[in-house]
Amino acid sequence: MNLEAFLLAPWHIQLHAVCALAAVAVGVVQFTAPKGTIPHRTVGYVWVVLMVTVAVTAIFIKTSGSFSWIHIFVPITLLGTVELAIRARRGMTARHRTLALVLFLAALLLPGAFTFMPGRLMHTVVFG
């Protein structure tokens, strides 16, 4: 493990990674905790803030000075979190649940898996 590589990374990359890891943890809590409660709603807001922070900070993470294909997850995440809130507010619980799972998998875990590819920061941090 090489935490020095993480600590030497720019602040926006550090914020991005910390918020992404927190969003994974909060997401797991959301999926396992009782639904329809005030804590579920409150933790849901926290998850949305984390996801928006992850998406916005991703805009500033560029390879070779330009956007890469992985940046497609930025608008997906931003639009998805808005739709997630709309579905919850309208009482569309089944659709809300489905979209929450899709966002968790497709906008958080899938891009997160790519950060562990050789040459990427998280690969360096975890595998040295």
On whether the CB atoms of residues 85 and 47 are closer than 8 A, the answer is: no
Q: How many angstroms separate the first and last alpha carbons of the chain?
A: 5
pTM of the model: 0.92
pLDDT, tens only, 27-78: 999 999 999 899 999 999 999 999 999 999 999 998 777 888 889 999 999 9
User: How far, in Å, CA of 56 to CA of 4, rounded?
Assistant: 24
Number of domains the chain is built from: 1
CATH of the domain at 34: 1.20.58
86-128 pLDDT, tens digit each:
999 999 999 999 999 999 999 999 999 998 999 888 999 999 8
Q: In this structure, what DSSP letter does residue 116 have?
A: T
What is residue 123's predicted lDDT score, i.e. its pLDDT? Answer: 92
Give the per-residue pLDDT at 66.
82
Q: What is the DSSP string of 64-76?
A: TTB--GGGGHHHH
Which tokens belong to 109?
């875990």
- What is the residue range of 95's domain? 3-127
Q: What is the pLDDT of residue 70?
A: 85
Residues comprising the chain, all counted: 128
